[in-house]
Amino acid sequence: MDIGDRFQRADWKAEKHVPVIDCPGEVKAGENFKINLMIGKEIAHPNTTEHHIRWVALYFSPADEKFTYEIGRFEFNAHGEAVAGANEGPVYTHHAVDCWAMLKKPGTLIATSLCNIHGLWESSIDIQVS
Ligand code: FE
């Protein structure tokens, strides 16, 4: 068993766990651009103490290189926990985040995420650099 085998992939329009990467398909070399990462973009994922998205991470794999680079990791830490009990808390972190990056070469953006009860998910998109 390889940890890579445990990452689930699916069509994000039909499966609420898939991290959706929203960014331009082509960017200019050396110019920062915005990348939105969101889970449950088409079908809402629950956000409760018992069932929620814990984190999303973003990686870049250059087209002509062996190694993959981590762009960022984002934790979603509040899910209604409180002294009074589950879902009695005043705050819930939404499972979406914007980050900015710049690239020098084309490759693939890869997002991974974790649902506390439904495991690991991933998605990727190719990005061109001009
Ligand atoms: Fe889930």
pTM of the model: 0.95
pLDDT recorded at residue 19: 98
Annotated catalytic residue 79: no
Query: Mean pLDDT in each 10-residue stretch from start to end of the chain (130 residues)?
Result: 94 95 98 98 96 98 97 98 98 98 98 98 98
pLDDT recorded at residue 99: 97
Domains annotated on the chain, with CATH: 3-129 (2.60.40.730)
pLDDT recorded at residue 5: 95
Annotated catalytic residue 28: no
Annotated catalytic residue 51: yes
pLDDT recorded at residue 12: 93
pLDDT recorded at residue 4: 94
Residue 116 CA, ligand 1 centroid: distance in Å: 7
Residue 72 CA, ligand 1 centroid: distance in Å: 22
DSSP per-residue codes, 50-110: SS-EEEEEEEEEETT-S--EEEEEEE---BS--TT-TT-SS-B--SEEEEEE--SS-EEEE
pLDDT recorded at residue 57: 98
